[in-house]
């Protein structure tokens, strides 16, 4: 399944000019009073239902075509379908392959294990907040808000060129027993978003080392063309008809593969293989590293009483032997959040504007939703 991400929010704000820029961090710190009132809590992992998503760039020229009326919109739609066909298929295939080696249930079990390891022993130094236990909840089966417990949720995304795995972990504590009181002062009225909501929330982001981009050679170009052609063949190995939409899309991609340079989508064809080698050893290692980082710093952050500043500075908390650093962000809306970055970075990576989710996971989620819908219908009929 393909899903379009919401991107360009900052650009939208700039264009509309009708939204006041946020001047306070998103992170919410537990006050000493609230932490003491909580004392000991449970952690509930909201089960990841998407698995490892493969991001890609989906082209949309509908706005450009709309200026030429209905015909322009139709032509743009056809062209976009042809252009996006190959990247969408490959992203879907990559997500399917990732799910075979590291399905969503394995991701959830790995994080639960790491969170469990952070539960302090009975003779450990007392913290402001201790963890009593870790459990999971499936939000399709139980969509109600988690109350009086620390709720954890996650996302796992392979970059547009497949060079990097990004893991984001959100931690939130909501309770009807305590009210959030903003620690910030405002020249005018307090924003509505600062009057309600969780008493604690933060974000923990892990980025894997970046895989090296392959150098294009004549041999690699031939492999690229073969891979593109194979991706368009049906289950019997038959290529699409030349005049079909699929055939035109394949020709367009094959022609592009001969231009002497690699696009991010083409790079992903080769780098996805690196994540899958040796039974997904690299993939599993990075997932474990991401979970260990998140679990450790969630446990520490729960006991922190530091109020993040909008105009502060990043703080390096840890530097590992491989030069990986853990930073606490010090400025803007992400101030107070934690980021684990690989060492010796020479370039940034991008995550496109769309993601593909494995068919296995999509089918599983649909089956659960159908089950919930059927149970609701039974309950309604009984009434």
CA 93 from centre of chain = 18
> Is residue 113 domain-shared with residue 240, that is, in the same domain?
no
> Is residue 235 domain-shared with residue 167, that is, in the same domain?
no
> Is residue 144 domain-shared with residue 238, that is, in the same domain?
no
> Is residue 142 domain-shared with residue 44, that is, in the same domain?
yes
> Is residue 253 domain-shared with residue 188, that is, in the same domain?
no
Structural domains counted in the chain = 2
Choose the final residue of a domain: 261, 290, 321: 261
> Is residue 77 domain-shared with residue 173, that is, in the same domain?
yes
> Is residue 325 domain-shared with residue 186, that is, in the same domain?
yes
Q: Which residues of 100-111 are buried (b: 16+ CB within 10 A; e: fewer)?
A: eebbbebbbebb
> Is residue 308 domain-shared with residue 366, that is, in the same domain?
yes
- pLDDT values of the chain reduced to their tens digit, one per residue, 383 residues: 666 554 444 434 344 445 568 989 999 999 989 998 998 889 999 999 999 999 999 987 655 445 544 544 454 555 567 778 778 888 999 999 999 999 999 999 999 999 998 876 544 445 568 888 999 999 999 999 999 999 999 999 999 999 999 999 999 999 999 999 999 999 889 999 999 999 999 999 999 999 998 888 888 888 888 888 888 888 888 989 988 888 888 888 888 888 888 889 889 999 999 999 999 999 999 999 999 999 999 999 998 889 999 999 999 999 999 999 999 999 999 999 999 999 988 778 999 899 999 999 999 999 999 999 998 888 777 76
Q: Element (H or E) spanning 139, and its range?
A: none
CA 182 from centre of chain = 28
> Is residue 377 domain-shared with residue 253, that is, in the same domain?
no
DSSP bridge pairs for 46? 137
> Is residue 192 domain-shared with residue 329, that is, in the same domain?
yes
Range of the domain at 128: 2-214+268-382
């Amino acid at each position: 399944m393909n899903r379009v991400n919401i991107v360009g929010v900052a650009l939208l704000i700039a264009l509309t000019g009708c939204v006041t820029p946020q001047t306070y961090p998103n992170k919410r710190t537990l006050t000493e009073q609230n932490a003491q009132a909580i004392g000991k809590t449970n952690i509930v992992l909201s089960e990841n239902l998407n698995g490892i998503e493969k991001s890609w760039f989906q082209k949309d020229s509908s706005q450009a075509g709309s200026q030429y009326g209905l015909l322009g919109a139709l032509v743009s739609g056809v062209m976009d379908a042809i252009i996006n066909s190959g990247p969408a298929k490959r992203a879907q295939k990559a997500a399917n392959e990732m799910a075979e080696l590291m399905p969503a249930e394995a991701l959830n079990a790995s994080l639960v294990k790491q969170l469990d390891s952070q539960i302090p022993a009975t003779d450990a130094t007392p913290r402001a907040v201790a963890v009593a236990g870790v459990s999971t909840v499936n939000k399709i089966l139980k969509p109600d808000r988690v109350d009086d417990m620390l709720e954890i949720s996650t996302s796992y995304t392979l970059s547009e060129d497949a060079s990097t795995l990004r893991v984001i972990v959100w931690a939130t504590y909501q309770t009807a027993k305590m009210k959030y009181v903003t620690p910030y002062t405002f020249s005018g009225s307090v924003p509505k978003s600062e009057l309600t909501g969780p008493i604690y929330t933060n974000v923990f982001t892990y980025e894997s080392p970046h895989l090296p981009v392959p150098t294009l050679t004549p041999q690699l170009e031939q492999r690229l063309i073969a891979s593109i052609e194979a991706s368009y063949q049906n289950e019997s190995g038959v290529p699409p008809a030349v005049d079909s939409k699929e055939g035109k899309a394949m020709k367009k991609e094959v022609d592009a593969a001969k231009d002497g340079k690699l696009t991010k989508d083409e790079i992903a064809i080769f780098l996805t293989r690196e994540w899958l080698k040796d039974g997904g050893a690299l993939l599993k290692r990075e997932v474990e590293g991401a979970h260990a980082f998140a679990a450790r710093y969630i446990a520490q952050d729960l006991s922190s009483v530091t109020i993040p500043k909008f105009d502060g500075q990043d703080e390096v908390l840890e530097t590992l032997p491989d030069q990986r650093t853990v930073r606490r962000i010090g400025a803007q809306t992400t101030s107070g959040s934690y980021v684990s970055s690989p060492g010796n970075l020479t370039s940034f990576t991008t995550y496109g504007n769309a993601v593909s989710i494995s068919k296995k996971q999509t089918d599983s989620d649909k089956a659960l939703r159908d089950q919930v819908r059927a149970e609701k219908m039974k309950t309604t009929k009984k009434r």
